Structure 1
Amino acid sequence: MENYINRCIDSILAQTFSDFELILIDDGSTDKSGEICDDYALGDSRVKVAHIKNGGVSKARNTGITLAKGDYMMFCDSDDFVERNWCSLLYEAIKEGGNTLPVSGIKFIYNIREQNKEIIKVFPKKMTLDKCKYFETYKKGLSGSLCCKIYDTNIIHEQSIYFDVSVNRGEDLLFNLSYMSHMDSFTTVPIITYNYVHSNQYSLMNSYRKDLIEINVLVYNAWLDYFKKHNIYSKQIEEFATYYYLNFLNVVKNTFDKRNKDILIKKLIFNNHILNSKEFKECIDLADMSKEDSRYIKLLKTNNYYLVWFAEQVIKVKNLLRMRK
């Protein structure tokens, strides 16, 4: 991250709110990132650096949690950067009182190969909503992210809320659901405070994942456990299942990513396993499918992906023939 780390650190040190400690975790970097972090520590007493053996993002964040001394805690990834009011706005929101988790907006910046675009995700106004409505952050694309939130350090330490080191995707959401179980509400801050940059085509977010189904199943069950734990009415579970149905379809599509070198029959067997999973069956039964193609849904409910794939190939051929006419 040596090409991005300066921009990240400079944006944090430039905050309008200055009473903080900045903990930089060097997770066994092999470039000059660790040296750059040490240089900042020499120039600013607020900067603390921990050099650890590479163990992944969850282990790195857990290290930061154990070292943190502040009353509140925020997270930032090394290739991103923040607005000058990142700390102040979220700090003001949590200091207003109440057992709440503040959530601000994010600007997603995509700079991958020829792709350059920005996507804004933010709530339209300031609201304090009961934790039973935390799914609203999922619909906004803000549920899993750590970077647009501020956490009570005492609650994290007292409740031993840490990241699961065995998971390297979806771990943020698992952390947030665990934390939200100890909150009464979440508060929306309708301002962009964080810039989430997708610039590395080889990053975890942009790479083909063989284990994507395991990750989605893990997160799916975590959400259902959250709903059941807090007695959330069935309508919200139906809404969640409708959203998550699309996630399962993305997993099926992921199997045919060109970076997957498996032969066709292995891909078909893999996707057939997905359609026969307890989670997919439960999801498609709970979801509202009134706006979906009823014929396609019937195919999916056969739990026979070979049949689904064959029907898709027939449609492709028909469309190709129409284009040639």
Structure 2
Amino acid sequence: MRCGKVSIIVPIYKVEKYIHRCIESILHQTYSNLEIILIDDGSPDNCGEIVDQYAEQDDRIKVLHKKNGGLSDARNHGMKLVTGEFTMFVDSDDWLETLMIERQVNYCVKYRADAVQSAFYYAYDDLLLYDNRHYEQGDNHIVLDNKTLMYELVINEKVKNFAWGKLYRTVLIKDIPFKEAVLFEDVFWAHQVMHHITTYVMIHQPLYYYYQRDDSIVANYTPRNLDIIKGLKERHSFLEKYHSDLKNESYKVITKTCLIHYNLLLINWKKDKQGVHRKEIRYYIHNNYQVLKEAVKDDNKLLKQFSLFSVHPILNIMYLGMKKGLRKIQFGAKPAGLERMNL
């Protein structure tokens, strides 16, 4: 029996340098029952012409040219064209291992899963990094129920918030649009999807290449990056309603993210000259001090940072600077690394 069609949505914007690699990796999948939906999101380079050429060569390809509206808008337009039993999102500067879709479909069918994720590589121009802190590439796959899945999603270690690279049953996601005009759109979206999943399969073999550009979050930081905190707060309200047992874990993630972004705002103080955004973070932590302190009490490192920040944010920055200095002279423990291999 032939397995169902897989619809692959690829939003495309200013990726002329990478788009051939991405599309070719999809076209050469061992699983051929594909519907490849390429969304030209008003790209000002030659991407529009390139995807049209591909569409002429392969009738599995659908192309939509639209006015630029951002990643979420492009994905939402793509979902309107989906006819497959399964759906996958692929970012246009990333690429797939040849066996990826076949493997994911097989696991989805075998376990009647609602979604399947594979491991991925952080792909640089000259090397690959694989996160082996929790699993090795040769480990057996695991199956998660909804309760475990939601916990793993919130802590964002084994199950990432990324929408890309996962195979979803289309019926599960077709009525859950991505929030538009925000950064970190996946944070606003993933929990709504995972909430409806009964069976979720994790494959530890890396089958997706997540390309890392040279752009630095510190050098290119803007207050728009604070959308991630908005997304986490929105998710928290959802969790309080449907998964109240995860409230403390959610508060912990919000706290950690607030501290990180306060420091980034301070480094990029010219982009927050009046300190408006820093004041918002301090205001949130001050107003929620007791619940946040309760949430982080079992994480000694985070509790220390939270306590210092609550006295004065500069104390936390001094503490982090000291820890970094100690690591350099090998007194402190080094953070866990990733397995490195040549590309």
TM value normalised by structure 2: 0.77
What is the aligned partner in structure 2 of residue 147 from structure 1?
Answer: 164
Deviations 1:123-154 (A, max 9, x none): 63311112222232443264211222111112
Task: Pick the aligned partner of 2:296 from 260, 275, 287.
Answer: 287
Matches within 5 A, 1:1-325: 1-111=15-125, 118-121=128-131, 124=135, 125-134=140-149, 135-137=151-153, 138-140=155-157, 142-157=159-174, 160-169=175-184, 171-201=185-215, 207-223=220-236, 225-226=238-239, 228-231=241-244, 233=245, 236-258=246-268, 260-263=270-273, 266-267=274-275, 270-277=277-284, 281=289, 282-292=291-301, 296-302=305-311, 307-309=312-314, 312=317
Give how far 1:315 is off.
9.9
Q: What is the alpha-carbon distance in structure 2 between the residues aligned to residue 26 and residue 109 of structure 1? A: 24
- What letter corresponds to residue 238 of structure 1 in structure 2? N
Deviation at 1:13, TM superposition (A): 0.6
Q: Structure 2: how far apart are the matches of 1:194 and 1:311?
A: 37
Structure 1 counterpart SS, 2:230: helix
Deviation of the 1:165 alpha carbon? 1.1
Provide the secondary structure at the position in 2 that maps to 1:150.
strand
Deviation at 1:258, TM superposition (A): 4.1
How far is the alpha carbon of 1:227 from its aligned partner?
5.6
Q: Structure 2 unaligned runs (5+)?
A: 1-14, 330-343
Helix, strand or coil at the partner of 1:211: helix
Give the C-alpha shift of residue 314 in structure 1: 10
User: Distance between the aligned counterparts of 1:64 and 1:180, measured in 2?
Assistant: 20
Q: Distance in 2 between matches of 1:190 and 1:205?
A: 31
Shift of 1:220: 3.6
Find the residue that maps to 2:229 and give its secondary structure. Answer: helix
On the 8 A contact 2:115/2:166 being kept in 1, the answer is yes
Corresponding residue for residue 337 of structure 2: none
Q: 1:17 to 1:228 in 2, by over 3 A?
A: same
Instruction: Summarize the Cα distance change of 1:55–1:131 in structure 2 as closer, same or farther, 3 Å threshold.
Output: same
Distance 2:16 2:211 in 1: 15
TM-fit CA distance, 1:253: 1.4
Distance in 2, matches of 1:224 and 1:143, equals: 19
Give 1:296 deviation, angstroms.
4.9
Offset of 1:5 from its aligned partner? 0.2
Mapped to 2, the partners of 1:128 and 1:310 lie a distance apart of 43
Structure 1 position 256, deviation (Å):
2.5
CA RMSD of aligned residues (A): 3.2
Residue 229 of structure 2 aligns with an amino acid whose one-letter code is N
Note closer, same or farther for the CA distance 1:315–1:23 as it changes in structure 2 (3 Å cut). closer
Once the two structures are superposed, residues 97-134 of structure 1 have per-residue CA deviations (whole angstroms, 9 ceiling, x without a partner) of 435321111111245xxxx6543247633111122222
Count of matched residue positions in the alignment of Structure 1 and Structure 2:
302
- % of aligned pairs identical? 26
Distance 1:63 1:105 in 2: 27
Deviation per CA, 1:161-192, whole angstroms, max 9, x where unpaired? 111113232x1132221111221132111111
SS in 2 for 1:165: coil
Contact 2:116/2:166 (<8 A) preserved: yes
Alignment deviations for residues 228-277 of structure 1 (CA, whole Å, 9 cap, x no partner): 4035x3xx4434433443222111111033484444xx34x532331221
- Partner Cα distance (1:104, 1:295) in 2: 35
CA contact (8 A) 1:239 1:288 kept: no
CA contact (8 A) 1:143 1:173 kept: no
Unpaired stretches in structure 1, ≥5 consecutive residues: none
Once the 2 structures are TM-superposed, how far is the Cα of residue 214 of structure 1 from its aligned partner?
Answer: 4.0
Query: Any conservation in 2 of the 1:121–1:142 contact (CA below 8 Å)?
Result: no
Residues 18 and 92 of structure 2 are in contact (CA less than 8 Å); yes or no, is this contact kept in structure 1?
A: yes
Which has the higher mean CA deviation after the structures are superposed, 128-137 or 83-92?
A: 128-137
Q: 1:300 to 1:280 in 2, by over 3 A?
A: farther
Q: Say which SS state the counterpart of residue 31 (structure 2) adopts.
A: coil
Separation in 2, partners of 1:152, 1:140:
23
Does the CA contact (< 8 Å) of 1:109 and 1:195 recur in 2? Answer: yes
Counterpart-to-counterpart distance in 1, 2:261 and 2:319: 22
